Amino acid sequence: MNTILISYDLMSPGKDYSALHKHIESYGNWAKPLESFWFIRTNNSAEIVRNLAMKYIDVNDKLFVVEITGMASAWQNLSNEVVNWIGSKL
C-alpha cells in the first residue's frame, strides 16, 4: 500500500470544493494536517490519484501528488491525531 501526499491551490475564491474533499476522504485512510494538504493510503499510484482528483478541480487550479511511502518526515505544531497517523503510515 502506498502513502500519497496531495496538495493543491484552488484558484476560484468562494467556489465549493466539497466534492474534492469527499473524493479524497473516500480513500478511507487519510489525514489532513494542513488546509490544502492531505495524506492518503491507497494501492493506486500517484499518477492515478492525480488523474482521479482532476475531475473535481478547475483547469486553473494547481495540484501536487507524490508517493511518500517510507520517506523521512518532520513537522511542527500538528495535532496528535495527524502525528500518530504519519508515524504509523510512512
Q: pLDDT (tens digit, 9 = 90+) per residue, 24-37?
A: 999 999 999 999 99
Whole-prediction pTM = 0.85
- Domains in the chain (CATH in brackets) are 2-89 (3.30.70.240)
Question: In the predicted model, what is the mean pLDDT of residues 4-20?
Answer: 90
Which residue type sits at 82? Answer: V
| 82, 38 contact by CB (below 8 A) | no
Work out the pLDDT band at 9, boundaries 50, 70, 90: very high
Task: Tell me how many degrees the CA angle 68-7-3 measures, rounded to the nearest 5.
Answer: 25
pLDDT at 88: 87
Between CA 31 and CA 83 the distance in angstroms is 9
Run of H or E including 82: helix 80-89
* Side-chain half-sphere exposure of 6, counting CA atoms within 13 A: 29
